[in-house]
Amino acid sequence: MARTRRPRVAPPEHLELRILPTVKVNFNPGSGLLKITGDNAANEITLDGLGVSGQLQLYIDGVHFDDFSGVTSVKAKLKAGDDRLLYNAVLVTGDFSAKLGKGADEFDVDDVINIGTGPDSIANFGSNLTVDFGGNR
């Protein structure tokens, strides 16, 4: 009886570590709206200004996510979890709204840059400022 050969199978490869971000970010350059959506875990979102109106750096849990230019409004929805939203020396001309959801949340406005490379300057909200802490006290 003839022996049948089995095809050779390549050994498996190790893939690099992949970490999925817990925060979704969407920027519409046409409208200037920067949307930030969290999950049910504790998230720290840092917005650090770059000294020019509409220019900022975004950090998620202390890690640089991206730089943005032309931001006129910010809308953040961070959901449940003990979230921190840090707004440092950012200059926007439009609305700022944040819904922090359930959890022991913190919203901090500061004139001093936290992590980024921009200069310290006055934090500015152009039009309406709305912050909803989800009933937490």
Within 8 A by CB and 6+ apart from 60, the residues are 21, 22, 23, 25, 43, 44, 45, 46
Look at residue 135 and tell me if it is in a domain.
Answer: no
Across residues 87-111, what is the average pLDDT?
A: 91
Range of the domain at 58: 24-129
Percent of the chain with pLDDT over 70: 85
Look at residue 10 and tell me if it is in a domain.
Answer: no
**Whether residue 23 has pLDDT greater than 90:** no
Question: Would you place residue 8 in the very low, low, confident or very high pLDDT band (cuts 50, 70, 90)?
Answer: confident
Number of domains in the chain: 1
Look at residue 47 and tell me if it is in a domain.
Answer: yes
Look at residue 39 and tell me if it is in a domain.
Answer: yes
Write out pLDDT tens, residues 40-61: 888 999 999 999 999 999 999 9
Look at residue 13 and tell me if it is in a domain.
Answer: no
Taking the whole predicted model, whether its pTM rises above 0.85 is answered as: no
Of residues 95 and 15, which shows the higher confidence score?
95
Please say whether the beta carbons of 23 and 60 come within 8 A. yes
Tell me, what's the pLDDT at 5?
72
**Whether residue 16 has pLDDT greater than 60:** no
Look at residue 18 and tell me if it is in a domain.
Answer: no
Look at residue 14 and tell me if it is in a domain.
Answer: no
